[in-house]
Amino acid sequence: MDESKPCSLPDDTAAAPRLLSHGSVGHVALCGCGHLHLSLKYLTLRFEPEAFRELTALLAFAQRSLDAPTRQRTANDAAPPDGNGPVH
């Protein structure tokens, strides 16, 4: 997908975004152009599907780390799933 183009289709082919998930902090919708929109109160982020998958893996890793029993963590413990080093 060309990032320089706006996230919309011509009016004659536009499809309403399809709501995929919603909760108290926001919602995720699939746009007719194929982008995923993550909307959080006053902020909406647009992702290509693969970037959205990477983000969800990163967030899931962070959640598992947050839920893990309290222990002394090293920089290696904070590495994201792709192994690119600590997250700050």
Tens-digit pLDDT profile for residues 11-67: 555 678 999 999 999 999 999 999 999 999 999 999 999 999 999 999 999 999 999
Residue 8 counted as domain residue = no
Q: Residue 69 has what pLDDT?
A: 77
One domain for residues 53 and 78: yes
Q: How many C-beta atoms lie closer than 10 Å to residue 20's C-beta?
A: 12
One domain for residues 20 and 40: yes
Q: How many domains does the chain have?
A: 2
Residue 31 counted as domain residue = yes
* Cα 28 to Cα 26: distance, rounded to the nearest angstrom: 7
Give this prediction's pTM: 0.65
Residue 57 counted as domain residue = yes
Q: Residue 16 has what pLDDT?
A: 84
3-state secondary structure of 78: helix
Mean predicted confidence (pLDDT) in 64-81 = 69
- Look up the domain containing 41 and give its range: 14-47
Q: With bands split at pLDDT 50, 70 and 90, how would you rate the model's confidence at 4?
A: very low
Residue 29 counted as domain residue = yes
